[in-house]
């Protein structure tokens, strides 16, 4: 996975963890600290047992900042909902392997948007499901918790799964595919996963969104040092 190790690690701030009251101040801190992406969990209450950030929230964020969005679609049958979102070329869009019978078709339907195409897989989904779509994706969003709620603890087996994924991509000559890790990414877990080839780290309550908003700058600096 040498190709990934040579690339700078990136932070994707999980906006479902943000305090709406201090949203503008939070965004200003993220811009100052050069946070790479804003992670947007779109949840429909059907694919996952929760409702999450929607199209109006996405539209409002775009008016606040030019930081690219990392849009994580936790919705059933995403192929019929892509047009609602206002996807930009600078975005990452993750669709779930488990959310549709037409995985390859959804990835194809993302092409006209010009965004980076990621495939997300849940903790219990084996990595071999990726084999037939490796030519259609720019990245893999490896869920380290079961999706739907912030504040969960990492599923222990996902650390071994990350190691297997590193080997899997190397064996298939796909070292250039980006690995994103999402769920309870503490500085310690982030450091471990960086060594296993992860390139994008979703940062939530376990890393940057804890304490008062004035602490976020220090939290980001500590987290960035851990995943360097």
pLDDT in tens, 22-81: 999 999 999 999 999 999 999 998 898 888 888 999 999 999 999 999 999 999 999 999
Under the banding of pLDDT at 50, 70 and 90, the label for residue 148 is low
Per-residue pLDDT, averaged over 140-155, amounts to 86
Range of the domain at 12: 2-226
pLDDT in tens, 179-213: 999 989 999 999 999 999 999 999 999 999 998 99
pLDDT at 131: 96
The more confident residue out of 147 and 131 is: 131
For position 97, which CATH number holds?
3.20.20.70
Half-sphere exposure of 35 (CA within 13 A, CB side): 34
Q: Where in the sequence numbering do the catalytic residues fall? A: 41, 182
pLDDT in tens, 101-118: 999 999 999 999 999 999
pLDDT at 190: 97
Reply yes or no on whether the pLDDT at 5 is more than 90: no
pLDDT at 152: 79
The more confident residue out of 189 and 151 is: 189
pLDDT at 4: 38
Token pair recorded at residue 222: 């500590």
Q: Are 53 and 75 in contact (CB under 8 A)?
A: no
The candidate with the shortest Cα–Cα distance to 78, out of 50, 114, 104, 49, is: 104
pLDDT at 52: 86
Token pair recorded at residue 186: 């503490």
Q: Which residue has the tokens 């504040």?
A: 151
pLDDT at 49: 85
Q: What percent of the chain has pLDDT over 90?
A: 86
Q: Is this prediction's pTM over 0.85? A: yes
Per-residue pLDDT, averaged over 170-174, amounts to 97
The total number of structural domains in the chain stands at 1
């Amino acid at each position: 996975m040498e190709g990934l190790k040579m690339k700078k690690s990136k932070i994707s701030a999980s906006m479902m963890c943000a305090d709406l009251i201090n949203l503008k101040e939070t965004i200003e801190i993220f811009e100052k600290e050069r946070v790479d992406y804003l992670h947007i969990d779109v949840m429909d209450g059907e694919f996952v047992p929760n409702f999450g950030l929607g199209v109006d929230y996405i539209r409002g964020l775009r008016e606040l900042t030019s930081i690219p969005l990392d849009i994580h679609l936790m919705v059933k049958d995403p192929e019929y909902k892509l047009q609602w979102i206002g996807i930009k070329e600078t975005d990452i869009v993750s669709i779930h392997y488990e959310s549709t019978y037409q995985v390859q078709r959804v990835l194809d339907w993302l092409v006209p948007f010009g965004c980076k195409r990621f495939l997300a897989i849940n903790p219990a989904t084996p990595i071999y499901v990726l084999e037939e779509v490796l030519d259609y994706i720019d990245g893999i969003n490896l869920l380290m918790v079961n999706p739907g709620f912030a504040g969960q603890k990492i599923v222990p087996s996902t650390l071994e799964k990350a190691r297997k994924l590193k080997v899997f991509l190397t064996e298939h000559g796909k070292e250039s595919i980006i690995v994103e890790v999402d769920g309870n990414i503490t500085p310690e877990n982030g450091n471990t996963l960086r060594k296993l080839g992860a390139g994008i780290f979703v940062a939530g309550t376990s890393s940057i969104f804890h304490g008062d908003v004035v602490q976020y700058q220090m939290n980001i600096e500590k987290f960035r040092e851990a995943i360097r």
